[in-house]
Amino acid sequence: MKLVIIGNGIAGNQVAFDVRKKDRDAHITILSAETVPEYDPCSLPYFLGGECGRTDVFRKTPEDYTTHNIDLVYDSRVVSIDPEAKTVTTHGGGQISYDKLVLAHGGDLFIPPIPGIDNPGVFSCKQLAETEKLAAHNGSSAVVIGSGAIGIEAAEALKRKGYAVHVVELMDWILPSLFDEPTARRLETALKGYGIHVFTGEKVLEIKGTGEVSAVVTNLRTIACDTVVVATGVVPGTALARTAGIDTGRGIQVNRQMQTSVPDIYACGDCVETIDACTGETAMFQLKHNAIEQAQVAARHIVGEKTRYLGAYAFARAHFFSTHAATFGKTQRATDCILGDKRVIEREDKNNYLRVMLLNNQIVGGQAIGTFADGLGLLIGAMWRKDDFMEIAAKVRTTPRGGAVHTWPMLRLGNLLGM
Ligand SMILES: Cc1cc2nc3c(=O)[nH]c(=O)nc-3n(C[C@H](O)[C@H](O)[C@H](O)COP(=O)(O)OP(=O)(O)OC[C@H]3O[C@@H](n4cnc5c(N)ncnc54)[C@H](O)[C@@H]3O)c2cc1C
């Protein structure tokens, strides 16, 4: 079998090495747009902030590919797929044939059409090469456009490097797709406490400067700066799939075996539109654990094993300096369009905050800051099992303290919910 994988990221590598474990004869080729072995994108802000070295970001060495007889071809961005001829074409014009093809090319950084965005003082933190340029840049004042998880992590890293840091967010609060306003405002206060300036509900209109960045102009102010980081989100790459006539929606559409609508072409990772494991709804959770699991399913199916993807999990964290927050499931805002009996339970104790979203007495989401975040796993379990919250609360209240067997989870849940 000739297996070709497009993308040398988390998902692509998982497919390649999993297939190799089960099929010693397969001819495996990874076509990479980049020029380095697999690294962990989640580590890039830590590298930027000097918390780890460049070598620490890698998940593979060049030798790992040779040892496992995997052909990694650098600088080979695939530009089109011909499913009739079963070939792919790279930007250099090279053609590679396949028996089975895996699209694992992740998402693309969304670049907003802002005048000045092409200025050399404008960077991103999504890929290693870009992050290296930002790390080597000799600036002192930065504006981070966008306050998603990547933007906040980049802001922290630049602060650690001694920059004056400003975060500009178009939406009304930071981390808007992960947290509701009450959680986000608390995190904003924490960020400001670390000396990071945060402006929400503000739109960047222009990046000023010729050759070098001199300022960022928003609808409300002008911020003098010499560095801009674009962190305005990741959009799933669907253009390549469309060259093969593959069905796409928000991302590449796949079935439970990670097969696309075109025979012998699979897709996994940040480029796919998948389903929420808890609700069965269409979902786009571009997170590492989901990419790995989807790739494992694709690999099993490629080698002929029976397999079924159960769906993706919305679980993410936001961590900066000594503030730690986590979120799972739906935000309150995401439940706005759903009919049913909705309730939000909130709890606050010093710097620890918890909010749990209930829909018809079932947990559908939760957010926590501080030590309350440590107990979120218990709530995720309850959401997954679709436990009735009233029954949980009754059990918590009636569980005997001390001595009885199997009481620990209930006591822990009781502590978390303040019952
Ligand atoms: C700064 C940062 C922090 C993150 N933090 C977290 C976190 O804390 N927790 C978490 O769960 N997730 C986090 N993520 C997201 C996580 O990294 C992704 O979900 C995961 O990397 C997705 O894996 P992937 O293989 O689908 O895509 P990627 O890892 O993005 O790999 C795709 C690869 O394909 C290549 N490629 C693209 N187009 C082509 C083409 N046409 N031809 C050939 N190659 C191509 C790309 O260059 C890239 O190397 C973070 C991401 C970033 C950038």
Question: What are the chain's domains?
Answer: 2-107+235-302 (3.50.50.60), 122-232 (3.50.50.60), 322-417 (3.50.50.60)
Ligand 1 contacts CB of residue 105 (under 6 A): yes
H/E run at residue 275: strand 272-275
**Opening angle at CA 382, ends 379 and 383, nearest 5:** 90
Q: Which residue has the tokens 């093809």?
A: 101
* Atom 48 in ligand 1: residue holding the nearest Cα: 9
78: Cβ below 6 Å to ligand 1?
A: yes
Q: Packing angle between helix 408-417 and helix 376-385, nearest 10 degrees?
A: 110
Q: What is the pLDDT of residues 22-73, one digit of tens each?
A: 999 999 999 999 999 999 999 999 999 999 999 999 999 999 999 999 999 9
- Does ligand 1 come within 6 angstroms of the Cβ of 226? no
The pLDDT assigned to 162 comes to 97
Residues present in the chain in total: 419
Quote the ligand 1 centre to 9 CA distance (angstroms). Answer: 6
Is the Cβ atom of 231 under 6 angstroms away from ligand 1?
Answer: no
pLDDT at residue 405 in the model: 61
pLDDT at residue 105 is higher than 80 = yes
207: left (phi over 0), alpha (psi -120 to 50) or beta: beta
Question: Which residue, by CA, sits nearest to atom 23 of ligand 1?
Answer: 10
pTM of the model: 0.94
| CA 311 to ligand 1 centroid distance, Å | 19
- The answer, yes or no, to whether any atom of ligand 1 lies below 6 A from the CB of 286, is yes
Inter-residue contact 238 to 132 (CB < 8 Å): no
Rounded Cα–Cα distance for residues 29 and 19 (Å) = 11
Residue with CA closest to ligand 1 atom 14: 42
Q: How far apart are CA 361 and CA 260, in angstroms?
A: 36
* Tens-place pLDDT, residues 124-133: 999 999 999 9
Q: How far is the CA of 41 from the centre of ligand 1 (A)?
A: 6
Could you tell me the distance, in angstroms and rounded to a whole number, from the CA of residue 164 to the centre of ligand 1? Answer: 28
Measured CA to CA, the distance from residue 231 to residue 166 in angstroms comes to 13
Assess whether the C-beta atom of 37 lies below 6 angstroms from ligand 1. no
Q: According to the model, what pLDDT value does residue 399 have?
A: 76
Residue-wise pLDDT tens digits, 138-169: 999 999 999 999 999 999 999 999 999 999 99
**268-308 tens-digit pLDDT:** 999 999 999 888 889 888 999 999 999 999 999 999 999 99
Give the closest residue (by CA) to ligand 1 atom 42: 77
Q: Are 234 and 146 in contact (CB under 8 A)?
A: no
User: How far is residue 380's CA from residue 362's CA, in Å, rounded to a whole number?
Assistant: 11
Stretch (H or E) spanning 327? strand 323-329
**Burial letters for 175-196: b for 16+ Cβ neighbours within 10 Å, e otherwise?**
bbebbbbebbebbbebbeeeeb
Residue from 43, 287, 289, 315 to probe ligand 1 pocket by mutation (most atoms less than 8 Å from CB)? 287
Decide if pLDDT at 243 tops 90.
yes
Ligand 1 centroid to 254 CA: how many Å? 18
Interior angle at CA 326, CA 320 and CA 329, nearest 5: 145
Q: Is 146 in the pocket of ligand 1 (CB under 6 A)?
A: no
Which pLDDT score, from 0 to 100, does residue 402 have?
A: 67
Cα separation, 81 vs 88, whole angstroms? 4
In this prediction, residues 200-220 reach a mean pLDDT of: 97
Fill in the amino acid letter for 137: H
Q: What is the DSSP letter of 219?
A: S
Ligand 1 pocket test target in 4, 6, 10, 327 with most atoms within 8 Å of CB: 10
**Atom 53, ligand 1: residue with shortest CA distance:** 126
Predicted pLDDT of residue 339:
85
Give dist(CA 23, CA 14) in Å, integer. Answer: 14
Residue 37 neighbours by CB distance under 10 Å: 19
Percent of the chain with pLDDT over 90: 86
Kindly state the average pLDDT of the residues 336-343: 87
